Chain A
């Protein structure tokens, strides 16, 4: 039996785990809630209902693009849900001692980790696709169109999920317990990476290599964040403090963001495999 055949077996049973665990449905509910809130709050709080096409500084900002950007936050939440799919991937085998059964089978540990990674990506990928389908349906209902840029955003969102998954695998390999791995990844994503990214952006330095920049890039296919915020009537080109802040975020481009996320995907996963190879189940 080849390692590829074993990999298929591992993916199948790991995917079954994700399907059976409550966390998949909780993350799905949160992502859908975020989209539902956007669909309720935007027309309620904005004068004139949903965003409409407008010209700001000679540039046409389409309402459908602005709304697509807002709804994408739900999908981004689903991508962040990767943390909860992968926190226990490696650490859990040691912590709950299921490794005493699994590791006594004739299968390479690398095959197990790759299988777990791909199963996690499959689960979170399907979740993200589902949130984009919901988003597309909402846009069709509201604007009678779905911008083609939605596919670019979907691709970036899947890439971001893969990067978050790799990072979580790395922390799962480093951590003694699943909870520790999950908390460390969330702290890195939302605190460390965000702070460093902001400092780099405000000081006009490149920040594309921060994983949080990957999260920011998911809305880039719809237009620059500054333009889209202007489409919502905020961040008018540096007038207020928020507008001033947003102007600093123009440096991120899609190709740079892709490179940044690829670094995390490869680096995180390879690091996780190398570290977990040294771990022993004593």
Chain B
């Protein structure tokens, strides 16, 4: 239970639809783990349970040893998360949004102001820092989403398709930021982009129909299936040929 993220027999039903089927997974400290799978595989459901946005039907999820269902506030204090395309209050500017979220996490004063400037600069939103979010494109919201994830310098990052909506330059910048930050943090990262995952993570978990199909290093999967793409296709039901 000492690993940053522990998932035990996690099961989730949406009505009669089984989204997660007794999923077990451990994400070790300071490792970047990619969560791969086709649409409806259970990736987002897993991350949403870890972020206390939804409750599991059975099983448990732990962040830094804290049960997410039982003590959500304590668990959430340890993470920074982007789930789906982030939406923000349109009447606030990025600086105000980060001020709000930072204060909710106990940050204040000059330290908060300095950190807001740092993360805004990191995601290259300086020109838009004091413009209301109602004017933002999807990619800009994604950048702000990453900024709020990093604002409080959490030890664990949970990212659901963080590159979604970004232009090619944005994707590259995003990847660099996550790769740099990931060297010092635990990153659990869901994506459809195999190339993106391969550049950020050394290890991946492949899920389909709520079940864990493989959890191995990319190098080992490539040895076994020739490429990560082949591993993904064969494990998730494609021919792979």
Residues of A within 8 A of B (CB): 1, 5-6, 9-10, 13, 16-17, 20-21, 96-101, 103-108, 280-282
Q: Which of B45, B74, B87 has the most CB of A within 10 A?
A: B87
Judge whether B104 and A101 touch: CB under 8 Å: no
Task: Please tell me if the beta carbons of B106 and A1 are within 8 angstroms of each other in the complex.
Answer: yes
A17 touches B104 (CB 8 A): no
Give A163 to B102 CA distance when docked, in angstroms: 32
Q: How far is the CB of A41 from chain B (nearest CB, A)?
A: 37
Which A residue sits closest to B44, measured CB to CB?
Answer: A282
Which among A13, A16, A17, A281 is the interface contact of B53 at CB below 8 angstroms? Answer: A281
Find out whether the CB atom of A20 lies under 8 angstroms from the CB atom of B53.
no
For the residues of A in contact with B, the DSSP-based class is loop
| 7 residue pairs A–B, Cβ–Cβ below 8 Å | A16-B92, A20-B91, A97-B85, A98-B87, A100-B87, A103-B52, A104-B52
Nearest residue (CB) in B for A5 is: B106
The reply to whether B74 and A106 contact each other, CB–CB distance below 8 Å, is: yes
Residue among A5, A101, A280 making CB contact with B55, cutoff 8 Å: A280
User: Which B residues between 11 and 27 are near A, CB-CB below 8 angstroms?
Assistant: 14
B128 at the interface (CB under 8 A from A): no
In the bound complex, residues from chain A placing their C-beta under 8 Å from that of B76 are: 104-106
Interface residues of B in 56-105 (CB under 8 A from A): 72-74, 76-77, 79, 81, 83-89, 91-92, 96, 100-101, 103-105
- Chain B residues numbered 88-129 whose CB sits less than 8 Å from any CB in chain A: 88-89, 91-92, 96, 100-101, 103-106
- A100 near B86 with CB under 8 A, answer yes
Are A107 and B53 touching (Cβ within 8 A)?
A: no
| Nearest residue, chain A, Cβ from B107 | A1
With A99-B53, A281-B48 as contacts: A106 and B88 at CB distance below 8 Å:
no
| Cβ–Cβ < 8 Å partners of B89 in chain A | 13, 17, 98
**B34 part of interface (Cβ distance < 8 Å):** no
The answer to whether A106 and B48 touch across the interface, beta carbons within 8 angstroms, is no
B148: chain A residues within 8 A (beta carbon): 101
Docked-complex contact A280 and B101, CB < 8 angstroms: no
Contact A101 B88 (CB under 8 A): yes
- Which residues of chain A come closer than 8 Å to B219, judged between CB atoms? none
Q: Is the CB of A21 within 8 A of B91?
A: yes
Contacts of A20 in B (CB 8 A): 91
A101 contacts which of B14, B45, B101, B103 (Cβ < 8 Å)? B101
Task: Compute how far the CA of A105 lies from the CA of B86 in the bound complex, rounded to whole angstroms.
Answer: 14
Question: Given A17-B89, A101-B101, A103-B52 in contact, is the A282-B84 Cβ separation under 8 Å?
Answer: no
Q: How far is the CA of A57 from the CA of B30 in the complex (A)?
A: 86
User: Which B residue's beta carbon lies closest to that of A8?
Assistant: B103
| A96→B88 CA distance, assembly (Å) | 9
The 5 closest A-B pairs by CB, nearest first: A1-B106, A106-B77, A280-B54, A106-B76, A281-B53
The residue among B51, B74, B91 with the most chain A CB atoms within 10 A of its own CB is B91
Question: How far is the CB of B196 from the nearest CB of chain A, in Å?
Answer: 21
B80, chain A: closest CB distance, angstroms: 8
Q: How far is A185 from B173 in the complex, measured between Cα atoms in Å?
A: 47
Q: Which of B29-61 contact A (CB under 8 A)?
A: 45, 48, 51-55
Question: Once the chains are docked, how many angstroms separate the CA of A97 from the CA of B85?
Answer: 9
Q: Once bound together, how far apart are the Cα atoms of A6 and B76, in whole Å?
A: 15
In the bound complex, what is the Cα–Cα distance between A105 and B87 (angstroms)?
Answer: 14
Residues of A within 8 A of B48 (CB): 281-282
Give me 18 other A-B pairs in contact (C-beta within 8 A), A101-B88, A104-B83 excluded: A9-B100, A13-B89, A98-B87, A98-B89, A99-B53, A100-B84, A100-B86, A100-B87, A101-B86, A101-B101, A101-B145, A103-B51, A104-B53, A104-B76, A105-B105, A106-B74, A106-B77, A280-B54
A106 contacts B104, C-beta separation under 8 Å: yes
Contacts of A105 in B (CB 8 A): 76, 101, 104-105
Bound form: Cα–Cα A97–B83 in Å: 10
- Closest B residue, CB atoms, query A10: B104
- Residues in chain B near residue A103, CB distance under 8 A: 51-53
Cβ of A282 and Cβ of B104 under 8 Å apart? Answer: no
Indicate the member of B51, B55, B100 with the most A CB atoms within 10 Å. Answer: B100
Task: Provide the residues of chain A in CB contact with B85, threshold 8 Å.
Answer: 97
- Within the complex, the shortest CB–CB distance from A131 to chain B, in Å, comes to 24
Chain B residues in 8 Å Cβ range of A17: 89, 91-92
Q: CB within 8 A of B73: which of A97, A99, A108, A282?
A: A108
